[in-house]
Amino acid sequence: MKKTEIQERVRESHGKLTEALEGLSEEEATRVGLNDNWSIKDALSHISAWEIEAARIITEIQNGTWKPERMNKELIDEFNRQAVENRQEHSMPLVREEFDAAHREMERIIESLPEEVDESTPIYKYIENVTFKHFASHGAQIRKFRDEGMNKRDEG
């Protein structure tokens, strides 16, 4: 895939995710209900942590120092739990600041890639899974929660 196509997919999905975050109050951002345990702030903490982790791994791949590790559901769940727990006391603006910084770093890394990126490579797979697929999934989840879940709770 052309690097410019990757950049466009990332930009588009990130834009939709950030649109879903617009206008959130601290109370709305921290209200649990996005899923059984998470608030929107928790989801953003999770997204940031994965983008930071992917940036680290991609850099290691580029430097030839990466040692692949097998991920399973338990390891992923633990990573997610820690990502949220480590940011639990952070305000939404602080979590958003980290989210924005993590994304800027990912954009910088994507910019450093060759003009063509093989879609079967770990670099592409990490970018795909932690950016456009991840952003789209959580963006839709947040929009649905804001459109349906928050309004229902406000009425009740």
pLDDT 10s digits, 21-63: 999 999 999 999 998 899 999 999 999 999 999 999 999 999 9
Handedness of CA 76, 35, 138, 56 (dihedral sign): negative
Distance, first Cα to last Cα, the chain: 48
What is the longest distance spanned by two Cα atoms in the chain? 55
Cβ proximity of 50 and 83 under 8 Å? yes
Cβ proximity of 44 and 21 under 8 Å? yes
pLDDT value of position 149: 66
The topology (CATH level 3) of 3-155 is Four Helix Bundle (Hemerythrin (Met), subunit A) (1.20.120)
The torsion angle over the Cα atoms of residues 36, 84, 147 and 18, rounded to 10 degrees, is: -160
pLDDT 10s digits, 98-154: 999 999 999 999 999 999 999 999 999 999 999 999 999 999 999 999 988 665 544
Cβ proximity of 128 and 118 under 8 Å? no
pLDDT value of position 5: 98
pLDDT value of position 148: 84
pLDDT value of position 151: 57
* Confidence band, pLDDT 50/70/90 cuts, at residue 156: very low
pLDDT value of position 121: 97
d(CA 78, CA 74): 6
> Taking the model in full, what pTM does it have?
0.92
Q: Is 89 helix (H, G, I), strand (E, B) or coil?
A: coil
